[in-house]
Structure 1
Amino acid sequence: MLSQKTIDIVKSTAPVLEERGKDITTHFYKSMFAAHPELLDIFNHANQQQGRQQTALATTVYAAARYIDQLEVLIPAVTQISHKHRSLGVKAEHYPIVGEFLLKAIKEVLGDAATDEIIDAWAEAYGVIAKIFIDTEAGMYREASEQLGGWMDFKEFEVADKVEESSLITSFYFKPKDGSQVPAYKPGQYITIKLHIPGEKNIVNRQYSLSAAPGQDYFRISVKREADHEPAGKASNYLHGHVNKGDVVELSAPAGDFYLDVDNEAPVALISGGVGITPMMSMLETLAAKNSKREIVFIHAARNEAAHAFKEHTQQMVKELANARSYVAYDKKTDEQTMCDVEGRISAEFLKEVISSDSICYVCGPVPFMGAVIGHLSQNGIPEDRIKFEFFGPAVELSKAQ
């Protein structure tokens, strides 16, 4: 329990953390990695180089200061971040390191403004917040390892198949190398793949949504080949160009708080852009396997038909479901395309026309796409608690992404 004095001091720092937060977190990561380079084997280097991780941490620190007397407000964020931490292998022993370098960064960036009283208050507050994360993640590690077919950190899987789904996306099928059972997971969750790329000093970790329904004897991820430039394309290009059938990789157990509520019978809308189709495939395959009678709307936006992954498979599933409809949006309509319901961007008017107002909406895709779609759904009167969305990498502020 924090003292009222500590709460008051921490809350008083919120305005400066809002203004200087990214300066602090940028300094923090630079100093921490210099002292503990082994942590580079855990963090996503692309998110570091693009500044997304620094921004995400700055937002979290600011929120902690603002709501230090209402920590229950932070529970959804703690849950989301803890899933990512568990999937990457962040452990309790890492938190004291983070705390040490975060406090140093606050002091060094803010200078004399960060008095001993402020640093002491933040040290106390960090201890309380770190314990919440540690306890939450300990429960997640137990759940991952104790489930049927589960394990604690990373486990070897063999590439059972590699299938081209479109001009941009290829699927990889993984089976446990030891022949054990594939654990259950919730449709929409992701795994982390650990890659040892020749020439790279550090391990490369990437999180990919599972693109098949649970209950199979394999995991499937479907990976978009990014442009041949650093840092975003490092993992995807290696997977596309060098990981083949028979190769062995290391995977984490499934994680994530973005998933289909399979017990709810309310109308459901699955809305994706580009490679954001991957968790939606897991959800749609799950609904198809259940022969669901729910009202289902499946909407996918792609550059064109060549870049549209799973198009025949989704059409077939939608056709077989009793109350399902599908719609396709392409950047530009051409005579060669056999399917295209929307040319260009998906509008609020279109979404209002095809999605029932009582639907639960799941959204995944590039950040600008999600920002626009979520804004449209809100404009159309869909309540916030019925709009679910997933980010690839650290969460960012959607209002600034539209």
Structure 2
Amino acid sequence: MLSQKTIDIVKSTAPVLEQRGKDITTHFYKSMFEAHPELLDIFNHANQEKGRQQTALANTVYAAAKYIDQLEVLIPAVTQIAHKHRSLAIKPEHYPIVGEYLLKAIKEVLGDAATDDIINAWAEAYGAIAQVFIDTEANMYKEASEQPGGWLDFKEFEVADKVEESSLITSFYLKPKDGVQLPDFQPGQYITVKFDIPGEKNIVNRQYSLSAAPNSEYYRISVKREADNQPEGKASNYLHDHVNKGDVIEVSAPAGDFYLDVDSDAPVTLISGGVGITPTMSMLETLAVKNSKREVVFIHAARNEEAHAFKEHTKQLVSELENARSFVAYGEKKNQETICDVEGHISAEFLKEVVPANSVCYICGPIPFMGAVIGHLKENGIPEEQIKFEFFGPAVQLS
């Protein structure tokens, strides 16, 4: 239990953390990796290079300061981050290292403003918050490893098939090398794939949504080829160019708190942009497998028809469902024969017309796309609690 003095001091630092948070977290990561380069085998280098991890941690530290006396407010964020930590095999022994370099960064960036009282209060607060993460993740590790077919950390999978889904997206069907039946997962969850890429100094980890309905035989990930000069391209292009049928890769057990509530009878709307179709495709397949009677609306936005993944498969799944409709938005039509429901951006008016007011909406795609869609849904009166969304990478502000 934190003392009132500690709570008061930590809360008093919230305004400066809101202003200088990213300076602190940028300094933190730089100094920690210099002292502990082995941690670069865990962290996503693309998120580091783009500054997303620094921003996400800054937001988390600020929220911790603001709500240090109401830690229950942080539980959704803790759960989301803990899922990512569990899928990356982050363990309790990593937390003291993070704490040491975070406190050093606060001191070094804020200088004299970071008094001994402030550093001591933050040390106590960090210990309490770290314990919440450790306890939450311990339960997740236990659940992942003890369920039928489950495992701890990473396990070898063989690429059973490699299928081109569009001009940009290719699917990889992964089967456990030991032949053990796969554990169940929630439609919408992701796995971490570990790469030892020739020429790379460190292990590269990437999280990919599972794009098929849960089954006991295989996982499917559907990966977008990124531009060669993009940090994300390091893993995605390696998969596209060098990982083939018969190859073996290491995979974590499924994780994530963005998933379809399969027990609900409420109408469901699945909205995706680009490769954001991967978790919504898992959800749509699951609804079809279960012969769901729910009202289902599936909306996908792609750059154009060539970039539209799972086009025919979506039509098939929607036709199998009793009460489902699908809509397509293309940023551009390459010819007059191209058929789509929306040309250009999805508008609030379009969503008002096709999304039932009582629908639970699941959204995934590029951040600007999600920000626009979520804004439109709220404008149309869809309550916040009916809007679920997934970030590919660290969570950021959508507004």
TM-score normalised according to structure 1 size = 0.98
Inter-partner Cα distance in structure 1 for 2:152 and 2:108: 37
Query: Where does residue 276 of structure 1 map in the other structure?
Result: 276
Quick check: 10-19 or 325-334, which moved more? 325-334
| Shift in Å, 1:339 | 2.7
State yes or no: 1:148 paired with 2:148: yes
After TM superposition, the structure 1 = structure 2 runs for residues 315-394 of structure 1, keeping only pairs within 5 Å, are 315-394=315-394
Pair 194,337 (structure 1): closer, same or farther in 2 beyond 3 Å: farther
| Shift in Å, 1:338 | 4.0
Q: Note the alpha carbon deviations across 1:135-182, whole angstroms, 9 max, x for none.
A: 000000000000111001000000000000000000000000111111
Q: Note the alpha carbon deviations across 1:255-281, whole angstroms, 9 max, x for none.
A: 000000000000000000000000011
2:260 aligns to what SS in structure 1? Answer: coil
Query: Where does residue 47 of structure 2 map in the other structure?
Result: 47
Inter-partner Cα distance in structure 2 for 1:279 and 1:231: 22
After TM superposition, the structure 1 = structure 2 runs for residues 88-127 of structure 1, keeping only pairs within 5 Å, are 88-127=88-127
Pair 118,307 (structure 1): closer, same or farther in 2 beyond 3 Å: same
Amino acid corresponding to residue 344 of structure 1 in structure 2: G
Inter-partner Cα distance in structure 1 for 2:161 and 2:216: 14
Inter-partner Cα distance in structure 2 for 1:337 and 1:173: 33
Inter-partner Cα distance in structure 1 for 2:191 and 2:224: 15
Inter-partner Cα distance in structure 1 for 2:151 and 2:28: 32
Q: Note the alpha carbon deviations across 1:207-251, whole angstroms, 9 max, x for none.
A: 000000002400000000001114121000000000000000000
Inter-partner Cα distance in structure 1 for 2:327 and 2:339: 9
2:292 aligns to what SS in structure 1? Answer: coil
Query: Where does residue 159 of structure 2 map in the other structure?
Result: 159
Inter-partner Cα distance in structure 2 for 1:127 and 1:188: 32
Query: Where does residue 307 of structure 2 map in the other structure?
Result: 307
Amino acid corresponding to residue 145 of structure 1 in structure 2: S
Inter-partner Cα distance in structure 2 for 1:232 and 1:175: 24
Inter-partner Cα distance in structure 2 for 1:334 and 1:358: 36
1:126 aligns to what SS in structure 2? Answer: helix
Give yes or no for contact 2:295–2:324 (8 Å, CA) kept in 1.
yes
State yes or no: 1:77 paired with 2:77: yes
Pair 298,2 (structure 1): closer, same or farther in 2 beyond 3 Å: same
| Shift in Å, 1:334 | 4.4
Amino acid corresponding to residue 19 of structure 1 in structure 2: Q
Inter-partner Cα distance in structure 1 for 2:288 and 2:44: 34
Pair 219,337 (structure 1): closer, same or farther in 2 beyond 3 Å: farther
Amino acid corresponding to residue 207 of structure 1 in structure 2: Q
| Shift in Å, 1:333 | 2.9
Give yes or no for contact 1:22–1:58 (8 Å, CA) kept in 2.
yes
Inter-partner Cα distance in structure 2 for 1:380 and 1:285: 28
Query: Where does residue 203 of structure 1 map in the other structure?
Result: 203
Q: Note the alpha carbon deviations across 1:274-312, whole angstroms, 9 max, x for none.
A: 000000110000000011110000000001111000000
Give yes or no for contact 2:193–2:252 (8 Å, CA) kept in 1.
yes
Q: Note the alpha carbon deviations across 1:35-82, whole angstroms, 9 max, x for none.
A: 000000000000000000000000000000000000000000000000
Amino acid corresponding to residue 265 of structure 2 in structure 1: E
Amino acid corresponding to residue 388 of structure 1 in structure 2: K
Amino acid corresponding to residue 226 of structure 2 in structure 1: E
Query: Where does residue 66 of structure 2 map in the other structure?
Result: 66
Give yes or no for contact 2:181–2:216 (8 Å, CA) kept in 1.
no
TM-score normalised according to structure 2 size = 0.99
Inter-partner Cα distance in structure 1 for 2:231 and 2:319: 40
Query: Where does residue 290 of structure 2 map in the other structure?
Result: 290
Inter-partner Cα distance in structure 1 for 2:386 and 2:189: 18
1:92 aligns to what SS in structure 2? Answer: coil
State yes or no: 1:8 paired with 2:3: no
Give yes or no for contact 1:210–1:282 (8 Å, CA) kept in 2.
yes
Amino acid corresponding to residue 61 of structure 1 in structure 2: V
Inter-partner Cα distance in structure 1 for 2:355 and 2:171: 29
Query: Where does residue 229 of structure 1 map in the other structure?
Result: 229
Amino acid corresponding to residue 116 of structure 1 in structure 2: D
1:184 aligns to what SS in structure 2? Answer: coil
Q: Note the alpha carbon deviations across 1:303-352, whole angstroms, 9 max, x for none.
A: 11110000000001111211000000001234454430000000000000
Gaps of 5+ in 1: none
Inter-partner Cα distance in structure 2 for 1:304 and 1:207: 25
Inter-partner Cα distance in structure 1 for 2:126 and 2:202: 29
RMSD across aligned positions (CA)? 0.7
Pair 337,331 (structure 1): closer, same or farther in 2 beyond 3 Å: farther
Give yes or no for contact 1:305–1:337 (8 Å, CA) kept in 2.
no
Inter-partner Cα distance in structure 1 for 2:13 and 2:146: 42
Inter-partner Cα distance in structure 1 for 2:339 and 2:359: 25
After TM superposition, the structure 1 = structure 2 runs for residues 19-38 of structure 1, keeping only pairs within 5 Å, are 19-38=19-38
Amino acid corresponding to residue 394 of structure 2 in structure 1: P
